[in-house]
Amino acid sequence: MLALALVLDAIFGEPDWLWSRLPHPAVLMGRAVGALDRWLNRGAGRRAKGVGAVALLVGGAWALGWGLAAIPDGGVIEVGLAAILLAQRSLLEHVRAVAHALRRGVPEGRAAVAMIVGRDTEGMTAPQIARAAIESAAENLSDGVVAPAVWFAVAGLPGMLVYKAVNTADSMIGYRTPRHEAFGWAAARLDDALNWIPARLTAGLILLVHGAWRHAPQVPRDARLHRSPNAGWPEAALAPVLGIALAGPRSYAGRLQEFPWVNAAGRRDPGPDEIERACAALWRCWAGLFAIAAGLALLSQT
């Protein structure tokens, strides 16, 4: 089912004709998170309330997945929903759009990359735009493709829905802001836990499909430079494969922050061509992931 879901996502992605008429499951998850935020994120005991909110999300996602999987001959539903919750094609479309926009000019590149990153984009140079797009590609390969695939393989549709619900919650409330630092604590910590193994598997997959194991010793060192315990791993693997440096200084909320460089010896002036190479690398990773899923499926039949 996972192998088939990967193929369906790669072919169809997220067609506008469907999701312009129906709410995407991720949108529904976002509405649930938003409702819990409005309902519970007030008064005293916000961390405990945040734990309760995450428990409700996890329980609801697991129950929904279990119910759908229990439907007689429900394999079609499982495969279809798994394909919808994978994000390979849509990720590549958004990242490649930055390359196309950047070729038309820096202002268009800024507008395109603003769609996929949370940092300040006004004033970005062309290399900063390219680095931001490539970093987003690497991180979302883990969050949007490998991690949901891993949790589907481990725990079926319930596991995948739980992962996506927690990941959605982290993206909405898992920030250290006055409003969400306490309430979003549980979502952020659980998301870190659920992504711990997939992030490292993603780094290994990047090195494996590119025959780049010579870079393996530096990946953990560079990954530890990242502020996230997980996002640094795919970035640290992809940077030397492309021969570029990632991370470095960037601005959030109008304040420049001096983050260390990942693969500091690499080129620091990437452009649209490097974004395209990153997209090609992600498709190669998809092929490797599909081969693993298909191989495991064949082994299970013997």
Indicate whether 115 pLDDT > 80. yes
Q: Which two tokens stand for residue 158?
A: 């319930």
Higher pLDDT, 130 or 249: 130
The pLDDT score that the predictor gives to residue 142 is 97
CA–CA distance, 219 with 213 (Å, rounded to integer)? 10
The pLDDT score that the predictor gives to residue 302 is 75
Say if residues 168 and 76 touch (Cβ distance below 8 Å).
Answer: no
The pLDDT score that the predictor gives to residue 263 is 96
Indicate whether 37 pLDDT > 90. yes
Tens of pLDDT along 147-197?
999 999 999 999 999 999 999 999 999 988 999 999 999 999 999 999 999
Tens of pLDDT along 254-290?
888 888 999 999 999 999 999 999 999 999 999 999 9
Tens of pLDDT along 76-98?
999 999 999 999 999 999 999 99
Indicate whether 7 pLDDT > 80. yes
* In the chain, % of residues over pLDDT 70: 100
0.75 exceeded by pTM: yes
Residues 241-246, mean pLDDT to the nearest whole number: 97
Tens of pLDDT along 16-35?
888 889 999 999 999 999 99
